[in-house]
Structure 1
Amino acid sequence: MFNPFEFHERNLGRAGWLMALEIVGGVALGLILVGLGYASDLAIIAVWLCNLFTAWFIGKAAAAQGKRQWLYALPAVAPPIAIWLIFKLHSEDSMRRMSMMEADSRVSE
């Protein structure tokens, strides 16, 4: 199965998957609500509520990288900021892992 977060910190992967499910679920719920004759704005409320869990996992991933947990978790309550923070933490985790692999290869030589 395709998992872009396979080698990264567990909570970062969970936050990424939850964000993807929020986007897909929010669009699907919006379309269902429009089909039933309701305003699609109600889907935004569901996305924001689900984003609380994503923000919690973003905070835990930031803490695992040695950053302040609440400094990352509180702004991540807003979905656009959460998407940006996931990419930011993902790239920093990738760079950290690449530097660790490089250091390991130098030690083994």
Structure 2
Amino acid sequence: MFKELAKLDKNLRRAGYILLAVVLGGSFLALLLHPFNLAPLALLFVWTVNLPAAWFLSQAAKLQGRSAWLTGFTSLIPAAALIEFFSLCPGSPRTKQASPR
């Protein structure tokens, strides 16, 4: 999995690592805080850590010729950020392929 992330461009790679931290860290934190009835604090962690991912996804969309504003705003929601990440990855049907000349 890390080999595929290393092949991506800088902004997409950073967003991928942050989204990985969001998913794994949020899950671990929710499990850790559940016995103390503080699991909703994990949501605060997820939304806060997701902000830089939204920024990097918007920059990656800008480099691909897509709307950076739309991608950034939709990526503020963590689940939508994952969808945007996979739609921006190379090989996705939504990414613009460079025309061979």
TM over 0.5: yes
* Equivalent residue number for residue 33 of structure 1: 33
Could you tell me which runs of 5 or more consecutive residues in structure 1 were left unpaired when the two chains were aligned.
none
After superposition, residues 26-105 of structure 1 pair within 5 angstroms as 26-35=26-35, 37-90=36-89, 91=92, 92=94, 96=97, 103=100
RMSD, aligned α-carbons = 2.0
Distance 2:9 2:63 in 1: 8
Q: How many residues align?
A: 98
Could you tell me which runs of 5 or more consecutive residues in structure 2 were left unpaired when the two chains were aligned.
none
Distance 1:3 1:38 in 2: 38
Helix, strand or coil at the partner of 1:4: helix
Indicate the percent of aligned positions where both proteins have the same amino acid.
33
- Read off the aligned partner of 1:47 and give its amino acid letter: V
Deviation of 1:30 (Å): 0.9
Deviation of 1:5 (Å): 2.3
- Read off the aligned partner of 1:22 and give its amino acid letter: V
Q: Which of 1 and 2 has greater Rg? A: 1
